[in-house]
Structure 1
Amino acid sequence: MPTIKSSYLGNLRTQSEHIQSGTQLLTDAPVDNNGKGEMFSPTDLVASALGSCMVTIMGIVAARDGVDLGGLTWEVTKVMQSGPRKIQEIIIDFHWANPVSDPVMIQKLKNAARTCPVALSLDPAITQTINFNF
Structure 2
Amino acid sequence: MGSLKNQYLGNLRTEGTHIPSGNKIITDAPVDNMGKGQAFSPTDLMSFSLSACMMTIMGQVADRENIAMEGLTTDITKVMSASPRKVSEIHINFNWPVLDLTNKQKTMLINAAKTCPVALSIHPDIKLEVTFNLN
Q: Aligning the two structures, in what range does the TM-score lie when normalised by the shorter sequence? A: over 0.9
Output the aligned Cα RMSD.
0.7
Partner of 2:76: 76
Partner of 1:59: 59
List 4+ stretches of structure 1 deviating above 6 A: none
User: How far has the Cα of 1:98 moved from its partner?
Assistant: 1.7
Partner of 1:7: 7
Measure, in 2, the Cα distance between the counterparts of 1:107 and 1:88.
27
**Alignment length, in residue pairs?**
134
Measure, in 2, the Cα distance between the counterparts of 1:3 and 1:42.
18
Amino acid at match of 2:88: Q
Partner of 1:129: 129
User: How far has the Cα of 1:101 moved from its partner?
Assistant: 2.7
5+ long unaligned stretches in structure 1: none
Partner of 1:49: 49
Measure, in 2, the Cα distance between the counterparts of 1:115 and 1:82.
29
Measure, in 1, the Cα distance between the counterparts of 2:2 and 2:92.
30
Matched, 1:36 2:36: yes
Measure, in 1, the Cα distance between the counterparts of 2:81 and 2:3.
30
Partner of 1:97: 97
TM-score (normalizing by structure 1):
0.97
5+ long unaligned stretches in structure 2: none
Amino acid at match of 1:85: R
> What secondary structure, in the 3-state scheme, does the structure 2 residue paired with 1:8 have?
strand
Alignment of 1:13-24 (within 5 A): 13-24=13-24
TM-score (normalizing by structure 2):
0.97
1:74-133, Cα deviation, whole Å (9 max, x unpaired): 110000001110000010000002223300000000000000000001111111110001
User: How far has the Cα of 1:3 moved from its partner?
Assistant: 1.6
Measure, in 1, the Cα distance between the counterparts of 2:6 and 2:101.
45
